Structure formats: C-alpha cells, structure tokens
Amino acid sequence: MTDKLRLGLDINGEPKDLLVDGYKTLLEVLREDARLTGTKHGCELGECGACAVLLDGEPVLSCLVLGAECQGRHVTTVEGLTENGRLHPLQECFADLGAAQCGYCTPGILVTAKALLDRDPSPSRASIQEALAGNLCRCTGYLQIFEAVEAAAKKMAQAATSAASSDRESSR
C-alpha cells in the first residue's frame, strides 16, 4: 500500500482537495486525480514541453514537478485559458492560422505563450522563439505557431484599446 497525501491546490481558479499518491508528479495528479487530460504526457524527461502548465503564473514542466510541491499553489492548465466559455485569443489564432495540427504539443505551447504575453504583451519574434524553445512540435515547422502568437498579441492589444475607448465614452 502506498502513502496517500492530501493535496490542496487551486486549479484554474477552483480550489481542489485531492487525495493523491505521494510519489506522483504534477502531470499525473492533473491527469489522473483532477481528471484534466488537456495537459499532455510526452517524454516525462523534461525534453518535449508537452506537459507544460503554469505554476503561480510561471511555466513549468509538470512531469518534473512533484504534486506534493504544489500544496497551496495556483496551477493553470490549457482548460483554464477559456473565460466565460470564450476561447483565449491565443486559442482562436492557433485555430485560425493552422498552428495546431495533431495538437499534441498545443496545450503546452498555449500556456507557455500565455505566460509570455502576460509579461510582454508585444513580444518580438526572437522573444517568442526563446519562450517556446523548450516546446517541441513535430508537425507545424513552428512558423504558424510564431505567427499565431503574434496575431494573438495584436488581437489582445486591439481589444484593450477598444475597451479603454468605450470606458472613456461611458464616463463622459
């Protein structure tokens, strides 16, 4: 019999209280205990980026993090990118520009790109390449991925500008 651990953490804005095996990685906790299978299981060696999630807003490879290390912390998975049932602009642009083919790498790339746009809303192509250097994709050749991140950054900037101008209008 293995020792179980009570693990309290926030996943995608919802508090969770899970009883998990103490040896499990965050990837296993997410997929097997929280039943969130959007995060993909790839190499389990920290080499492919398929398992990337955000831990307190920063990208981590969930296959290299023990679930027990996440006590009390905030985890964001690809399932947490939608807001009120609306896709995140990154998800829309990935779909529109063919940046996802088989899609296995896509959840890890989306959350990593989200962390980049959160800290740099208008990243250069070089910054996007650097941020995604640990996320392997065997299908797209990467160009569509970089273009989709750039398109999402523009879309988010336009949305912020129109929200600011409608705020100004309504305060007149």
Tell me how far apart the alpha carbons of residues 61 and 79 are, in angstroms, rounded to a whole number.
Answer: 16
Tell me how far apart the alpha carbons of residues 86 and 70 are, in angstroms, rounded to a whole number.
Answer: 28
Minimum CB–partner distance for residue 134 and ligand FES (Å): 8
Minimum CB–partner distance for residue 7 and ligand FES (Å): 19
Residue ranges that bind ligand FES, judged by CB under 6 A: 41-44, 46-51, 61, 63, 100-106, 137-140
**H helix intervals, the chain:** 26-28, 89-96, 106-119, 125-131, 143-170
Minimum CB–partner distance for residue 169 and ligand FES (Å): 42
Q: Which CB sits closer to ligand FES, 98 or 127?
A: 98
Q: Which CB sits closer to ligand FES, 42 or 80?
A: 42
Minimum CB–partner distance for residue 111 and ligand FES (Å): 12
- Are 90 and 110 within 8 A, CB to CB? yes
Q: Which CB sits closer to ligand FES, 13 or 96?
A: 96
- Are 69 and 24 within 8 A, CB to CB? no
Q: Which CB sits closer to ligand FES, 4 or 23?
A: 23
In this structure, the strands spanning 58-61 and 52-55 are antiparallel
